[in-house]
Amino acid sequence: MATVKRIKLGSQGLEVSAQGLGCMGMSFAFGPPKPEPEMIALVHHAINSGITFLDTSDVYGPHTNEILLGKLAGFTLYLQSPHVRRWSFQALKGGVRERVELATKFGARFVDGIGKMEICGDPAYVRAACEGSLKRLDVDCIDLYYIHRIDTRVPIEVTMGELKKLVEEGKIKYIGLSEACVSTIRRAHAVHPITAVQLEWSLWSRDVEEDIVPTCRELGIGIVAYSPLGRGFFSSGPKLLQNISKDDYRQNLPRLQPENLEHNKKLFERVNEIAERKGCTTAQLALAWVHHQGDDVCPIPGTTKVENFNQNIKALSVKLTPEDMAELESIASADSVKGDRDMYSHATYKNSETPPLSSWEAS
């Protein structure tokens, strides 16, 4: 197995590979689900390359991405030649499980098919969601369990109270939050230590640096950066929409719409110029920039292709000087990007405040 640096995520004891693997696109959002054997082979390749931190959610599919990862422990891929593959299920449970750190999430669910999304942090739902994820992942314990999105109807203390019970029962090891505002992070952390906050952080999504990141560091909370490649923008540039399927959700991202893309492509071009000087790809440079934010940050780029994974892992070897960082940050300032980073307000930390606990106790 290849050697990838390991980092401590948060101050509660969790250790993960310095780079993770986002698994969402294998089953959800990025066009049709990808062939299962190929995706399982890709995840095995990642593990053998030293990337052991796997990120999923019960809403991806929904459910099918967790089911996919649940088959990992019993799946062996035999490569007879570069062109011939055959696979069979074997009794390997334990061997793979002991080599990975599984992170999944709950709290965002679809109602009426996959049309309308609802956010739920009710205690009964917390427990039912956890039981469902354990079954689909085919594990006894989840390493890192995130609140995927914050239910603004339920005090965060109530949701956290049930998660604390699940930790005490041994069903989850560590608790995380995703897209939570500062006050929510502080209130949640007061109920039970938060190990990691997952947030969107990249060269074109830097708003979290103002108060979310400093708060996490003050409290000893690790940071997991999703979409570190700008949802693929720093991989493909302004041609991204031409390279993805028509039912890929990124077709509707505000920053990729014509009225914003003409402006945003200038950022890609300037980052690309620096990458050429550094002898790496634009994607590797953008990912390396996230890595250089500190050893408490773990980016989780996602991919469905082995060749893209191999390119992403090379970002760990890209060294940036303070001058490189300053140059990148000068061209990736807050006003260098046009358009919202998400098309749904419920998907951002700026709309994640919950009511006070007293309101729940009084009801």
Catalytic residue numbers, as ranges = 60
Scanning the structure block, which residue is given the tokens 């720093």?
234
CA–CA separation, 222 and 170 (whole Å): 21
C-beta of residue 318 within 8 angstroms of C-beta of residue 288: yes
φ, ψ of residue 169 in degrees (nearest 5): -85, -5
Closest CA to 79 of 55, 44, 30: 44
Length, in residues, of the chain: 363
Phi/psi at 225 (5° precision) = -95, 110
Helices (H), the chain: 36-48, 64-70, 123-137, 156-168, 182-191, 212-219, 233-236, 258-278, 282-291, 306-313, 322-331, 357-362
Q: What count of other Cβ atoms lies within 10 Å of the Cβ of residue 257?
A: 16
C-beta of residue 302 within 8 angstroms of C-beta of residue 23? yes
